[in-house]
Amino acid sequence: MRKNTRIPAMGRRIAFHHKTRKSGTLTDQSLVRRTKQEVVSEYRCGEILAAARKVFARKGFSGATVDEIAEAANVAKGTVYLYFPSKREIYLAAFRLGWATLIEETRRSVEAAPDPAAKLRAFIETRIRYAEQNKDFISIFHAEFGNIGPSCANKKFKALYLEQAQVLEAMLEQAAAQGQIRPMRTGAAAFAIYEMTRGIITQRLLGWSKTTAEEDIQFLFDLIWSGMAPLTASAGAA
Protein backbone atom coordinates (compact mmCIF):
# COMPACT_ATOMS: atom_id res chain seq x y z
CA MET A 1 0.00 0.00 0.00
CA ARG A 2 1.42 3.32 -1.04
CA LYS A 3 2.09 5.72 1.83
CA ASN A 4 0.83 9.27 1.57
CA THR A 5 4.14 10.90 2.47
CA ARG A 6 4.54 14.66 2.19
CA ILE A 7 7.61 15.85 0.36
CA PRO A 8 9.64 18.46 2.32
CA ALA A 9 9.38 22.03 1.03
CA MET A 10 12.71 22.00 -0.81
CA GLY A 11 11.98 18.55 -2.17
CA ARG A 12 8.65 19.74 -3.55
CA ARG A 13 10.38 22.57 -5.41
CA ILE A 14 12.96 20.22 -6.90
CA ALA A 15 10.36 17.65 -7.92
CA PHE A 16 8.13 20.34 -9.41
CA HIS A 17 10.99 21.83 -11.37
CA HIS A 18 11.99 18.43 -12.74
CA LYS A 19 8.42 17.76 -13.89
CA THR A 20 7.97 21.11 -15.61
CA ARG A 21 11.04 20.67 -17.78
CA LYS A 22 8.91 18.29 -19.87
CA SER A 23 5.89 20.57 -20.07
CA GLY A 24 7.51 23.74 -21.40
CA THR A 25 9.09 26.95 -20.21
CA LEU A 26 5.96 28.77 -19.05
CA THR A 27 5.69 26.80 -15.82
CA ASP A 28 9.47 27.07 -15.30
CA GLN A 29 9.15 30.84 -15.48
CA SER A 30 6.31 30.74 -12.97
CA LEU A 31 8.56 28.77 -10.65
CA VAL A 32 11.30 31.37 -11.03
CA ARG A 33 8.83 34.16 -10.29
CA ARG A 34 7.57 32.33 -7.22
CA THR A 35 11.10 31.88 -5.97
CA LYS A 36 11.80 35.58 -6.45
CA GLN A 37 8.66 36.40 -4.49
CA GLU A 38 9.84 34.18 -1.68
CA VAL A 39 13.20 35.95 -1.61
CA VAL A 40 11.52 39.35 -1.55
CA SER A 41 9.14 38.22 1.20
CA GLU A 42 11.99 36.92 3.31
CA TYR A 43 13.91 40.16 2.87
CA ARG A 44 10.87 42.30 3.70
CA CYS A 45 10.09 40.21 6.77
CA GLY A 46 13.68 40.61 7.96
CA GLU A 47 13.52 44.37 7.48
CA ILE A 48 10.32 44.59 9.52
CA LEU A 49 11.77 42.51 12.35
CA ALA A 50 14.99 44.53 12.42
CA ALA A 51 12.97 47.73 12.69
CA ALA A 52 10.68 46.19 15.31
CA ARG A 53 13.61 45.22 17.53
CA LYS A 54 14.79 48.81 17.61
CA VAL A 55 11.32 50.17 18.34
CA PHE A 56 10.62 47.61 21.08
CA ALA A 57 14.03 48.21 22.64
CA ARG A 58 13.38 51.96 22.74
CA LYS A 59 9.73 52.03 23.78
CA GLY A 60 8.98 48.61 25.25
CA PHE A 61 6.19 46.29 24.21
CA SER A 62 3.36 48.38 25.63
CA GLY A 63 4.66 51.69 24.31
CA ALA A 64 5.46 50.55 20.77
CA THR A 65 2.88 50.72 17.98
CA VAL A 66 2.60 48.99 14.63
CA ASP A 67 2.59 52.43 12.99
CA GLU A 68 6.02 53.17 14.49
CA ILE A 69 7.35 49.79 13.38
CA ALA A 70 6.07 50.37 9.85
CA GLU A 71 7.64 53.83 9.76
CA ALA A 72 10.98 52.49 11.01
CA ALA A 73 10.89 49.75 8.35
CA ASN A 74 9.90 52.26 5.62
CA VAL A 75 6.80 50.26 4.69
CA ALA A 76 3.06 50.85 4.88
CA LYS A 77 1.23 49.68 7.98
CA GLY A 78 -0.79 47.31 5.79
CA THR A 79 2.43 45.69 4.59
CA VAL A 80 3.37 44.85 8.17
CA TYR A 81 0.02 43.12 8.64
CA LEU A 82 0.65 41.04 5.52
CA TYR A 83 3.43 39.30 7.45
CA PHE A 84 2.28 39.56 11.07
CA PRO A 85 -1.33 39.59 12.31
CA SER A 86 -0.62 41.58 15.47
CA LYS A 87 1.96 43.55 17.43
CA ARG A 88 2.38 40.59 19.76
CA GLU A 89 3.27 38.31 16.84
CA ILE A 90 5.86 40.83 15.65
CA TYR A 91 7.31 40.89 19.16
CA LEU A 92 7.49 37.11 19.38
CA ALA A 93 9.01 36.78 15.91
CA ALA A 94 11.67 39.38 16.69
CA PHE A 95 12.47 37.59 19.94
CA ARG A 96 12.67 34.16 18.29
CA LEU A 97 14.93 35.46 15.53
CA GLY A 98 17.38 37.04 17.97
CA TRP A 99 17.35 34.01 20.25
CA ALA A 100 17.87 31.53 17.38
CA THR A 101 20.82 33.55 16.08
CA LEU A 102 22.41 33.65 19.53
CA ILE A 103 21.93 29.92 20.03
CA GLU A 104 23.46 29.08 16.66
CA GLU A 105 26.50 31.33 17.23
CA THR A 106 26.98 29.85 20.69
CA ARG A 107 26.72 26.30 19.38
CA ARG A 108 29.32 26.89 16.67
CA SER A 109 31.76 28.52 19.07
CA VAL A 110 31.42 25.81 21.72
CA GLU A 111 31.75 22.98 19.19
CA ALA A 112 34.88 24.55 17.71
CA ALA A 113 36.61 24.82 21.10
CA PRO A 114 39.13 21.99 21.70
CA ASP A 115 38.58 21.21 25.41
CA PRO A 116 36.13 21.86 28.29
CA ALA A 117 37.90 24.99 29.54
CA ALA A 118 37.93 26.48 26.06
CA LYS A 119 34.28 25.52 25.58
CA LEU A 120 33.29 27.30 28.77
CA ARG A 121 35.15 30.43 27.72
CA ALA A 122 33.62 30.22 24.24
CA PHE A 123 30.14 30.07 25.76
CA ILE A 124 30.74 33.12 27.95
CA GLU A 125 32.53 35.12 25.27
CA THR A 126 30.04 34.43 22.49
CA ARG A 127 27.07 35.53 24.58
CA ILE A 128 28.70 38.66 25.97
CA ARG A 129 30.00 39.79 22.59
CA TYR A 130 26.64 39.07 20.95
CA ALA A 131 25.02 41.24 23.60
CA GLU A 132 27.48 44.04 22.88
CA GLN A 133 26.62 43.92 19.18
CA ASN A 134 22.85 43.41 19.58
CA LYS A 135 21.78 45.64 22.44
CA ASP A 136 18.32 46.09 20.96
CA PHE A 137 17.61 42.35 21.23
CA ILE A 138 19.16 42.07 24.67
CA SER A 139 16.99 44.96 25.85
CA ILE A 140 13.91 43.07 24.71
CA PHE A 141 15.08 39.88 26.37
CA HIS A 142 16.05 41.33 29.73
CA ALA A 143 13.57 44.15 30.17
CA GLU A 144 10.42 43.06 28.37
CA PHE A 145 10.34 39.24 28.39
CA GLY A 146 7.39 39.14 30.80
CA ASN A 147 5.16 41.10 28.44
CA ILE A 148 4.72 38.19 26.03
CA GLY A 149 2.88 36.23 28.71
CA PRO A 150 4.11 33.39 30.92
CA SER A 151 2.19 30.61 29.16
CA CYS A 152 3.59 31.62 25.79
CA ALA A 153 7.09 31.96 27.22
CA ASN A 154 6.89 28.50 28.77
CA LYS A 155 5.73 26.84 25.57
CA LYS A 156 7.87 28.61 23.03
CA PHE A 157 11.11 29.36 24.85
CA LYS A 158 11.53 26.85 27.66
CA ALA A 159 12.96 24.29 25.24
CA LEU A 160 15.43 26.84 23.88
CA TYR A 161 16.52 27.80 27.39
CA LEU A 162 17.00 24.16 28.36
CA GLU A 163 18.94 23.51 25.18
CA GLN A 164 21.54 26.07 26.18
CA ALA A 165 21.77 24.65 29.70
CA GLN A 166 22.25 21.17 28.25
CA VAL A 167 25.20 22.39 26.18
CA LEU A 168 26.84 23.56 29.38
CA GLU A 169 25.92 20.41 31.26
CA ALA A 170 27.51 18.18 28.60
CA MET A 171 30.69 20.28 28.78
CA LEU A 172 30.80 19.99 32.58
CA GLU A 173 30.27 16.23 32.47
CA GLN A 174 33.17 15.92 30.03
CA ALA A 175 35.39 18.06 32.25
CA ALA A 176 34.47 16.03 35.35
CA ALA A 177 35.15 12.74 33.54
CA GLN A 178 38.60 14.02 32.58
CA GLY A 179 39.36 15.16 36.14
CA GLN A 180 39.57 18.84 35.14
CA ILE A 181 36.84 19.82 37.59
CA ARG A 182 35.56 18.14 40.73
CA PRO A 183 32.40 15.97 40.71
CA MET A 184 29.30 18.11 41.07
CA ARG A 185 25.65 18.51 40.18
CA THR A 186 26.35 19.40 36.58
CA GLY A 187 22.74 20.33 35.81
CA ALA A 188 22.56 22.86 38.64
CA ALA A 189 26.03 24.16 37.77
CA ALA A 190 24.99 24.63 34.14
CA PHE A 191 22.04 26.84 35.14
CA ALA A 192 24.26 28.79 37.53
CA ILE A 193 26.80 29.49 34.77
CA TYR A 194 24.03 30.52 32.40
CA GLU A 195 22.60 32.98 34.91
CA MET A 196 26.01 34.36 35.91
CA THR A 197 26.70 35.09 32.25
CA ARG A 198 23.33 36.78 31.95
CA GLY A 199 24.16 38.83 35.04
CA ILE A 200 27.34 40.21 33.46
CA ILE A 201 25.38 41.04 30.31
CA THR A 202 22.77 42.89 32.37
CA GLN A 203 25.46 44.89 34.18
CA ARG A 204 26.96 45.95 30.88
CA LEU A 205 23.54 46.75 29.41
CA LEU A 206 22.75 49.01 32.37
CA GLY A 207 26.16 50.67 32.21
CA TRP A 208 27.22 49.35 35.62
CA SER A 209 30.38 47.69 34.36
CA LYS A 210 33.35 50.01 33.99
CA THR A 211 35.63 47.39 32.45
CA THR A 212 36.01 46.17 28.87
CA ALA A 213 34.09 43.21 27.49
CA GLU A 214 37.32 41.18 27.38
CA GLU A 215 38.00 41.91 31.06
CA ASP A 216 34.49 40.85 32.04
CA ILE A 217 34.79 37.67 29.97
CA GLN A 218 38.10 36.74 31.57
CA PHE A 219 36.84 37.61 35.07
CA LEU A 220 33.78 35.39 34.77
CA PHE A 221 35.71 32.52 33.20
CA ASP A 222 38.36 32.62 35.95
CA LEU A 223 35.72 32.82 38.67
CA ILE A 224 33.79 29.82 37.36
CA TRP A 225 36.68 27.61 36.25
CA SER A 226 38.71 28.16 39.40
CA GLY A 227 35.64 27.60 41.54
CA MET A 228 35.07 24.21 39.92
CA ALA A 229 38.68 23.04 40.23
CA PRO A 230 39.33 19.65 41.87
CA LEU A 231 39.42 19.94 45.64
CA THR A 232 43.03 18.72 45.83
CA ALA A 233 44.11 21.41 43.37
CA SER A 234 42.24 24.09 45.33
CA ALA A 235 43.79 22.93 48.58
CA GLY A 236 47.25 22.91 47.06
CA ALA A 237 46.83 26.41 45.70
CA ALA A 238 45.72 27.63 49.09
Report pLDDT digits (tens) over 163-181.
888 889 999 999 999 999 9
2-6, 92-96, 218-222 — most confident range: 218-222
| Closest C-alpha to 54, from 151, 120, 140 | 140
Mean pLDDT for 18-46 is: 59
Provide the pLDDT for residue 24.
Answer: 46
Provide the pLDDT for residue 2.
Answer: 41
Provide the pLDDT for residue 75.
Answer: 92
Any residues with CB less than 8 A from the CB of 118 and at least 6 apart, and which? none
Q: Does position 221 have pLDDT exceeding 90, yes or no?
A: yes
In terms of pLDDT, which residue wins out, 164 or 34? 164
Mean pLDDT for 78-93 is: 90
What percent of the chain is modeled with pLDDT above 70?
Answer: 75
Provide the pLDDT for residue 42.
Answer: 80
Mean pLDDT for 91-114 is: 88
| Closest C-alpha to 225, from 141, 150, 117 | 117
| Closest C-alpha to 140, from 107, 103, 99 | 99
Any residues with CB less than 8 A from the CB of 75 and at least 6 apart, and which? 44, 47, 48
Provide the pLDDT for residue 35.
Answer: 76
Please report which confidence band the pLDDT of residue 141 belongs to, taking 50, 70 and 90 as the band edges.
Answer: low
Mean pLDDT for 20-40 is: 54
Any residues with CB less than 8 A from the CB of 215 and at least 6 apart, and which? none
Domains annotated for the chain, with CATH where assigned, are 15-85 (1.10.10.60), 95-238 (1.10.357.10)
Provide the pLDDT for residue 129.
Answer: 95
Please report which confidence band the pLDDT of residue 143 belongs to, taking 50, 70 and 90 as the band edges.
Answer: low
Q: Does position 12 have pLDDT exceeding 50, yes or no?
A: no
Of the listed ranges 24-28, 64-68, 164-168, 175-179, the least confidently predicted one is: 24-28
CB atoms within 10 A of CB 120: 24
How far apart (Å, rounded) are the C-alpha atoms in residues 203 and 209?
6
Q: Does position 27 have pLDDT exceeding 80, yes or no?
A: no
Q: Does position 1 have pLDDT exceeding 90, yes or no?
A: no
End-to-end alpha carbon distance in the chain: 73
